[in-house]
Amino acid sequence: MSLSPHPFETLTPDFILDAIDAQGFLTDGRILALNSYENRVYQVGIEEEIPLIAKFYRPGRWSDTQILEEHQFCYELEEQELSVVTPLKNSQGESLLHYQDFRLALFPRRGGRAPDLDNPDHLYQLGHTLGRMHRVGAARPFIERPVLDLASFGYNSIELIARDFMPASLREAYLSLTRDLMLRIETAFTLFDDLSYIRVHGDCHGGNLLWRDDVAHFVDFDDARMAPAMQDLWMLLSENERHLRELQLAEVLSGYQEFADFDPRELHLVEPLRTLRMLHYSAWLARRWQDPAFPLSFPWFNTERYWGEHILQLREQLSALQEPVLRVL
């Protein structure tokens, strides 16, 4: 019995070009697949014009209203003259486009390089930009997009891995360790009952930041959600020794607090949020394992060695959760 093909297998070069042509553009046949796994993203050549970036959304992940909330957030940021890459609108003013069974969005191509997170000037500028972004994000909430919570990122991830992926020889160690981790994380989140959740980028790593002309440019808001401000800040800190991370944090917050207030209690969330991301990342790979691109791109996943190293990393993270929180120098 043959398995049904994955929806993304439909995205042949001819299909992609036809989809873009159907939006009123004249493609020139050039297609470059970009580094994206959750969705499929391509640079597509346009006759006598700058190429476009075409993003085909993963079927079933977001609803139309959730995608449009992401787009609207980007437009709000652009209106405040923040450098974000916003979706193009067609002649009907639509940013979410459709072609056969796919939803897609088109973006202008923007160049740049990853910021240098060891450069104090870059950290200050990133904090400066995030402060402005979070000021917009705090103005009103998302209604349709999810909240970063302990269930979706933590408990649900652990349940999936333990049930369907963790080798039997490691399962009990994994479950015991993750119970201790989640207890620590819960304690951190309950230190204050008035934690502020705002609209954030949600996946603020170096690959989604472009540095050009001494300005930080933010791309790919696909993981935007309601979360503490710290979710966008902690990923700017390296995993170097504590003193260096505190110096980085000082530079980031120096720029950030020019435009947004920072609740110092959120320093207690740095390691809990890092831990939740680690748990969620493994579960994300597991949930996408039937997508043919994932076994090809992540061949080391779901091996005995991978799970052994994952448990070791989580043990190190348990130690990090027991360390004093970072100080603002």
Q: Binding site annotation covers 116?
A: no
Residue 198 has pLDDT above 60, yes or no: yes
Q: List pLDDT tens digits, range 141-158.
A: 999 999 999 999 999 999
Please state, in angstroms and rounded to a whole number, the distance separating the CA atoms of residues 273 and 313: 15
Cβ partners under 8 Å of residue 89, min gap 6: 95
Which residue ranges make up each domain of the chain? Answer: 9-108, 120-321
Give the residue numbers annotated as catalytic, written as ranges: 203, 220
Judged on CB neighbours under 10 Å (0-12, 13-18, 19+), 168 is exposed
CB 313 within 8 A of CB 177: no
The predicted pLDDT at position 3 comes to 57
**Token representation of residue 27:** 């493609």
Is residue 212 classed as helix, strand or coil in its secondary structure? strand
% residues pLDDT > 70 (the chain): 99
CATH of 9-108, one of 3.30.200.20, 3.90.950.20, 1.10.287.3240, 3.40.50.300: 3.30.200.20
At the topology level, CATH places domain 120-321 in Transferase(Phosphotransferase); domain 1 (1.10.510)
Q: List pLDDT tens digits, range 7-43.
A: 999 999 999 999 999 999 999 999 999 989 999 999 9
Single out the residue of 173, 205, 170, 180 nearest to residue 306, CA to CA.
170
Give the pLDDT mean for 175-196: 95
DSSP 8-state assignment for residue 302: T
The predicted pLDDT at position 2 comes to 44
- Mean pLDDT across the chain: 95
* Alpha helices (H) along 190-262: 230-233, 242-256
The predicted pLDDT at position 193 comes to 85
Q: pTM for the full model?
A: 0.94
Q: Of 92-96, 151-155, 248-252, 325-329, which range is least confident?
A: 325-329
Q: Binding site annotation covers 240?
A: no
